Amino acid sequence: SEALTIADTEIVKILFLKGMAVSITQNLDVPTVILVANEAGVEVETQEPEAEARKVTEMIDLEDLEYLHRRPPVVTIMGHVDHGKTTLLDSIRKSKVAAGEAGGITQHIGAYHVDLEHNDKQEQIVFLDTPGHEAFTAMRARGARVTDIAILVVAADDGVRPQTIEAISHAQAAKVPIIVAVNKIDKEEAQPDRVKQELTQYGLTPEEWGGETIMVPVSAIKGENLDTLLEMILLVAEVEELNANPDRMAKGTVIEAHLDKAKGAVATLLIQNGTLKVGDILVAGSVFGKVRAMVDDRSERVTTAAPSFAVEVLGLNDVPAAGDEFEVFNNEKEARALASERAEKQRQSRLMQGRVTLTGISAQAQEGELKELNLILKADVQGSIEAILGSLQQIPQNEVQIRLLLAAPGEVTQTDIDLAAASGAVIIGFNTTYASGARHAADEAGVDVREYNIIYKLLEDIQGALEGLLEPEL
Ligand code: GDP
């Protein structure tokens, strides 16, 4: 505020109007600082931060730290419907996986990899081939984190649309870096600069304008500039320092699974650490199995699968769920015991855990435990959203901060429920209804959806929750 010579409350206001609820004592990240500065007409110079300490992710154990090797990035493509996600996935695959190659036609197993040369080295990128943030967040709702980098496809003839904004919220909530593919630049009506301009409103400022987001103009249909896009993915992957220890027993996540009449349970496993081998004994979610055979994304029988690669596995005793974690074990008895223990735990946690409710939050606030209230706001029209955001801004947020994950007009959808479940958020529906199936999904996932049609009532409840005064409903 000093550097920009504007009041600190002005900064809070600028961000609130952009859908970001921040408090006066909060630290902002660099893209947000740039965003505020741009609004105030000030240019920001950024410096590279000190090399970050090596990250220990859920999948990497302390014992692995000495044996880490680079692994390929795992990429998900997101964006508004018809902006070209499927076309982009197809043309990357076609351009990089030669038809004559072993296995010929690639088969759909939920992921595919491409090989490319980068700085004189053979590198790979793995694409999850169910595009969209719905699949991404459904996985997260189950606790899985599989995506390293999100490609946000925005059609240059259409610009930022509701699902573009949703995809940005979902990727940001998961703290996954975003690369923007400005698609359909072959079209006469294409206005790539307008897309870039629009994206700055959502915290994505292109590098050439002083921001940190890589934006690549492409034509998915003509295959134009795809090599640049792939290069950029590898560049971001390098910064992210994606590592795994290939010399240990595998663990990772189930990305697809189904029952095949002839083969039995078939599951696609994404290896996130270690190497998976035929004959391995594993537990996936609450399912036990011994790997009988593995097929890769090029329909080849393989005997091993390395970190970041996906393989279709036969030999499980049941069908696990997409998003379940899997892990290889030395000992069959131990594995079986764990599988049944997991089944029990899953049942328990479904009953008890992870349920975030406004009254629960109120109780936490009373104990002084609450630091942050995650909200998803769905309302009938944009006007209501602005009115609600304006009023939320008036609520003092010294002790607890309101973090708005998404504010959009429309019904409460399954995707909103997944985002809430994945991020521990409460959903506020204002003058709106549930999309079909969403009420049931909310019950299943234990997501608190509060419906209002009077703004002051909504504010009263939120303020009450933050102050620890909200009475539990009977
Ligand atoms: P999705 O819904 O995001 O998966 O979009 P699709 O990949 O199905 O593409 C939607 C439509 O846009 C299709 O008719 C595609 O042929 C078209 N399309 C996709 N990419 C391009 C492009 O780069 N240029 C042009 N002109 N059309 C494209």
How confident is the model at residue 413, as a pLDDT?
Answer: 93
Dist. CA 203–CA 210, nearest whole Å: 12
Contact 145, 324 (CB under 8 A): no
How confident is the model at residue 42, as a pLDDT?
Answer: 86
Q: How confident is the model at residue 106 (pLDDT cuts 50, 70, 90)?
A: low
For residue 183, give the nearest of 163, 164, 157, 165 by alpha carbon.
Answer: 157
Q: What is the pLDDT of residues 125-135, one digit of tens each?
A: 999 988 777 77
| Ligand 1 centroid – CA 153 distance (Å) | 10
How confident is the model at residue 285, as a pLDDT?
Answer: 86
Hey, what's the torsion of the CAs at 294, 297, 298, 299, to 10 degrees? 40
Encoding tokens for residue 102? Answer: 């072993």
| Ligand 1 centroid – CA 83 distance (Å) | 6
Annotated binding-site residue numbers for GTP: 79-86, 129-133, 183-186
| Ligand 1 centroid – CA 223 distance (Å) | 12
Q: How confident is the model at residue 136 (pLDDT cuts 50, 70, 90)?
A: confident
How confident is the model at residue 66, as a pLDDT?
Answer: 84
How confident is the model at residue 347, as a pLDDT?
Answer: 66
Measured from the Cα of 79, ligand 1's closest atom is: 3
| Phi then psi dihedrals of residue 434, to 5 deg | -90, 140
Measured from the Cα of 83, ligand 1's closest atom is: 3
pLDDT exceeds 90 at position 450: yes
pLDDT exceeds 60 at position 13: yes
Report H helices in 206-283: 226-240
Task: Provide mean pLDDT across the span 112-116.
Answer: 92
Measured from the Cα of 87, ligand 1's closest atom is: 7
Integer-rounded Cα radius of gyration of the chain: 23
- Of all protein residues, the one whose alpha carbon is nearest to atom 11 of ligand 1 is 82
- Of all protein residues, the one whose alpha carbon is nearest to atom 14 of ligand 1 is 82
- Of all protein residues, the one whose alpha carbon is nearest to atom 24 of ligand 1 is 184
- The more confidently predicted of residues 399 and 242 is 242
Q: What is the pLDDT of residues 162-179, one digit of tens each?
A: 899 989 988 988 889 999
How confident is the model at residue 105, as a pLDDT?
Answer: 56
| Ligand 1 centroid – CA 101 distance (Å) | 27
Task: Provide mean pLDDT across the span 252-278.
Answer: 93
Where residue 77 falls (left for φ over 0; alpha for ψ -120 to 50; beta otherwise) is: beta
Task: Provide mean pLDDT across the span 406-414.
Answer: 91
| Ligand 1 centroid – CA 86 distance (Å) | 7
Task: Provide mean pLDDT across the span 296-316.
Answer: 95
How confident is the model at residue 353, as a pLDDT?
Answer: 46
User: What is the reported pTM?
Assistant: 0.70
Q: How confident is the model at residue 349 (pLDDT cuts 50, 70, 90)?
A: low
